[in-house]
Chains A and B, each alone.
Chain A
Amino acid sequence: MAESHIDAVAGAAWDGGVAPFATNTKKLGMWLFLLSDSLTFSTAILAYAYVRLSSSNWPRPFEFSPAVINATFLTFILLSSSLTMVLAVAAAHRDEVRKAVIYILLTAVGGILFVVLHLMEWFRLFAEGVTPWSNHYVVNGQPGDPLFGGTFFGLTGLHMLHVSIGVIYLCIISYGFGRRKFNADHVEVSGLYWHFVDLVWMFIFPMVYLMSVSLKG
């Protein structure tokens, strides 16, 4: 039986019977999820850019203190939690269960700290009169664009939701890994998610904080 001309096209990795990316399917699934999630965040960021660019009265109210200091501290916490996550994955691959569980839990604590401090900042803004539907700022003699609060709370809220889900996810992983129900791959996959959430913050920090810093003075 003559082989058809379409047979010898793909390289061996794609010929079937092997995973072409030489990785487990869970990790591939997480990468695919992160791809779609990055589009969800991109859409929210794009909407922010769209309404901000078409606005003539977009407020830029943030001062160095407390807003930027707060946000920088939040960034520091999140970056540190990424570091502990890296250590957790490394420990898991070396099969140092206790160490890995401690590092995962430290990462989760970083996440909780981030959410708590971020919420405190939210409430500080609420107290100041910045809400998703209005604010007290005056720009070019007009009231500040109400979407300032909408985009701020929308973007940071979507991100905070991801961090909170990540904390729950990490707790489940640390419990399962500690009881040997999960293996190092599970830890690594949860690490992918955590680093992604971290990465998203690296976009949100400049876009909603630094770009809203007051220009006066």
Chain B
Amino acid sequence: MSFSSHYSILLVAVPLAFAALCPIVGMWKRELCFPFSVAGAAAACFFIFSLWGKVISKGVVSYTPGGWKPPLGIQIRIDYVGLFMASIIGAVGLAVLVYSWRYVSRELDAEKIPYYYTLYMLLFASMLGFVVTGDIFNMFVFMEIFSISSYALVAITGQRRAVRAAFKYLLMGATSSVMVLLGIAFLYSTVGSLNMEDIAGRLAMGGYTSVASIALVLFLIGFAVKAALFPVHIWLPDAHSIAPSPISAVLSALVIKMGVLGILRIFFTVYTPGFAGIEGTWTALLQAIAWCAAISIVLASIMAIIQRDFKVMIAYSSIAHIGYILLGICMLTDKGLTGGLYNILAHALGKGCFFLVAGIIIYKHDLRRITSLRGLGRSMPVTAGAFAVASLSIVGLPPSAGFIAKWYILWGCLQKQHYVFMVMVLLGSLLSAIYCFRVVYYMFFVGSHSAEIDEGPATMIVPAASFAAATLFFGIFATLVLPSLSSAAQALLAG
């Protein structure tokens, strides 16, 4: 076996090892933690992106650590969706890591910095593990690792509100994890397997009804909390707005998407769409998610409009976008799924950029109120410009990635003749235009005319600006991603 055949395990193992070593490095020399983590994340990115060729040619890359054959052994199973998510995690995670360097060196106490990088790498590695694993219990373990590290990262500043928000996040998160664990227990008790494909095969043989349905409901509740779907979204605005900005960016861009991926895995890989036994429950639950998602879109957008705090506003907008993603997925058509998945990318870039911009503004001026952002378009043109560009994507205007996503989601709704959802999606766009352009308005069209340019440090500007540029790039060159996504969608629908 050549070295490259181990890439699929290395992409998780390497950052995990770096996370473990980080405190030791920190004990020796604190400044080395940052380059050390960057090296780990970059290596993971390398592994992720070199796997694309294999996945495109074969469809699925399977790997069995230690040679234990599935279904008994743990299996790493990288399909289109998994690799797509992994690529987003890799790219966004690396960029935000670079961004955090200057941010944390000022916002955090010096002795906390090694722990910050440790937790960050742990978060990074466990999210990668979550998306590539083919074993349902393994997925739970990775979910716990990233949840716990994000609780800790939200609270890392130790300020009173941060601690409080983290505790709220922890209570809801841990309860939802228990739900997922119970779901796994139920499923295992009737099916007797933990490998997702294997479970799907056994379920398809039939004979499982009530227990499997209960497990499905438990999974749904558990992952819905992680994804911050209405009405279990209440932890998100606090946690996302109070966390240090790079962490907010990662939480919003990546961590809540793990909940979405969990729902995808459960509803499409484990309980396959064609599965006859509990089809009624399956369809009813997806309908329920679709409605919750649609309500999320409208309600969260309205909540975002009435906020006065910049970061809370961005956090509410994340809830709305989770709504878009899930709505697209719940349409159960290839276009809708493609749209949902594309919005994962579009939102990761757009929202990542938003939080990074918020971070730069906090770093330079310690401003959080929207009305206090006046005139920043002149003093910080790149930062404010990045925000303006990213807001195109968040609103879903062409030519940005958000537009492509919304286009496909609408197309999916149309395929199923769900006109009400179409109207709600468009209404959501209008509402998001209000809250995004309000900020753009304060940045560019109100305030002083002094043209003294006072930008943030380059390591913070570059990630934010490149996210903004990437939203445009993926809005114009969408064909780079769309074929893989529609294969992903078709693979998911086929089960």
Q: Do A and B come from one complex?
A: no
